[in-house]
Amino acid sequence: MFQTRITEMFGIRYPIICGGMFWVGRAELVAAVANAGGLGFMVGATFGENLDALRAEIRKARDLTDGPIGLNINLFPAVRRQPIEEWVQIAVEEKIPVVETSGRSPEGIVQALHEGGVKIMHKVAGARYARTAERVGCDAVCIVGYECGGHPGLDMVTSLILVPLCVDAVNIPVVAGGGFADGRGLAAALALGADAVLMGTRFMATQECRGHPAWKEYLVKAAESDTAYVMRSIGNALRVAKNALTDKVLEMEARGTTIEELIPVITGHPNAAFEEGQVEDTFASVGQAVGLIHDVPTVKELFERIVEQAIQVRERLDHTISRPAPD
């Protein structure tokens, strides 16, 4: 029913990908996505230097599915050392079929991953970075727009513009991310020329995703305007749930704060939203697609819904768009 370069490259039934999500995206979610016919990523950084825990999580996912298990290797600058070489080694040894990289060019790890038989999908927030990804040998690129949860980049350009720009810029398969949450989004991504859609925020509100029930309730209730775009002034922009902390950070940024002044303010309560359901005093990554979330289904139910809705869009468009009959 769905055949794209991404379904073929990753051996998946549907062109639906769940992006890596720090802390929340664990074995249960990634396995559920694989069982539903898609591809999901767990995040090396969630386990930091605890490499045994990462291996155990990958094996746990393997016990839950025969489908593909992806690993996200986050290359963003970090306060603590990130064991990137070790994550690469684990990807190879655990026979991970595809790694999702993000944060900066994966050039330094492309060769090792390819030699180990691992494909690379690099995530970028601008068409020029997609060109770099292609040049350094990535197998696919994911482009995310300004509306996305996590790191939307610094250009503040939405997915509707970035996806076709990226499709025009590279020859490798393009995955569209940022703001997608349903079957209309999937059909739109394919219409823009992408080979698959990637969602993060929508997958947080599923039964299998890790997270406090109050956080999931927040996701159901929050509106599309309830996110904040912070930390652009220090070159590490994030889209997170809007709260008193983000108001304070935006105010500091507006008056020209420094990274030294910001660090003590922003490093207070990591994961408080996910772990405790406390959304007031923390940075909790979430995208504008939160406005499209109205329930917490299982991953299987979500896939069925997305697929059915995308098919309906196609059928509607078949009636709406047609070539005029020749005279």
Ligand X SMILES: Cc1cc2nc3c(=O)[nH]c(=O)nc-3n(C[C@H](O)[C@H](O)[C@H](O)COP(=O)(O)O)c2cc1C
Which run of H or E residues covers position 17?
strand 16-18
- Cβ 23 to ligand X shortest distance, Å: 7
Q: What are phi and psi of 105, to 5 degrees?
A: -55, 130
Q: Of 295 and 315, which has the nearer Cβ to ligand X?
A: 295
Q: Of 257 and 277, which has the nearer Cβ to ligand X?
A: 277
- Cβ 8 to ligand X shortest distance, Å: 22
- Cβ 285 to ligand X shortest distance, Å: 4
Q: Of 140 and 144, which has the nearer Cβ to ligand X?
A: 144
Residue ranges in contact with ligand X by CB under 6 A: 19-22, 24, 43, 45, 72, 74, 102, 123, 144, 147-150, 177-180, 198-202, 204, 285-287, 289
- Cβ 236 to ligand X shortest distance, Å: 13
Distance CA 151, CA 17 (A): 17
User: Which residues make Cβ contacts (< 8 Å) with residue 18, sequence separation at least 6?
Assistant: 25, 29, 30, 33, 38, 39, 40, 41, 198, 199, 200, 203
- Cβ 7 to ligand X shortest distance, Å: 19
Distance CA 208, CA 26 (A): 9
- Cβ 261 to ligand X shortest distance, Å: 25
Q: State which residue has the least CB distance to ligand X.
A: 200
Burial class (CB in 10 A: 0-12, 13-18, 19+), 221: exposed
What angle, rounded to 10 degrees, do the helices at 183-191 and 299-320 form? Answer: 50
Contact between 308 and 184 (Cβ < 8 Å)? no
Q: Of 23 and 318, which has the nearer Cβ to ligand X?
A: 23
Amino acid making up residue 101? T
Q: Of 97 and 149, which has the nearer Cβ to ligand X?
A: 149
Q: Of 172 and 292, which has the nearer Cβ to ligand X?
A: 292
Which run of H or E residues covers position 246?
helix 244-254
